[in-house]
Amino acid sequence: MKQTLNQESFIQAFEDMFRAKQFSRRALISLYEYFDQYEHDTGEQIELDVIAICCEYTEETAAEIAASYSINIEGLDEDDVSNAVRTFLHENTLLVAEEDGVFVYQQF
């Protein structure tokens, strides 16, 4: 049995599993929009698995990502750091969203 979720019920599912603090509200909206678009593009329904999403996706600043993946950002200004991180994510994983220097992406 499948249940259709809207944006609010998607976010509520994270709250119900005590995982709402793993992502900002904006990141949860971005993830919802990503999965909704994926279903629309592929015609394939996705089963919501909050724990799997929490394990597979993350939300971090450009500086945190650079530190996690040893991206050399020494001497770069904020825009160049974001560009370096964006390029790295596009080349290595799936970038779901970016807003104000914060990235939502699929971990690898």
Per-residue pLDDT tens, the chain, 108 aa: give them: 577 899 999 999 999 999 989 999 999 999 999 999 999 999 999 999 999 999 999 999 999 999 999 999 999 999 999 999 999 999 999 999 999 989 999 998
Quote the number of domains for the chain.
Answer: 1
Domain enclosing residue 45, as ranges: 7-106
Beta bridge pairs of residue 103: 60, 98
Q: Beta strands 57-61 and 102-106: pairing type?
A: antiparallel
Task: Identify whether 66 is part of a domain.
Answer: yes
**Cα angle at 22 between 20 and 28, to 5 degrees?**
65
Task: Identify whether 27 is part of a domain.
Answer: yes
Q: What pTM does this model have?
A: 0.91
Tell me which amino acid residue 42 is.
T
Q: Are 29 and 99 in contact (CB under 8 A)?
A: no
Task: Identify whether 73 is part of a domain.
Answer: yes
Task: Identify whether 1 is part of a domain.
Answer: no
Task: Identify whether 17 is part of a domain.
Answer: yes
Q: Are 49 and 97 in contact (CB under 8 A)?
A: no
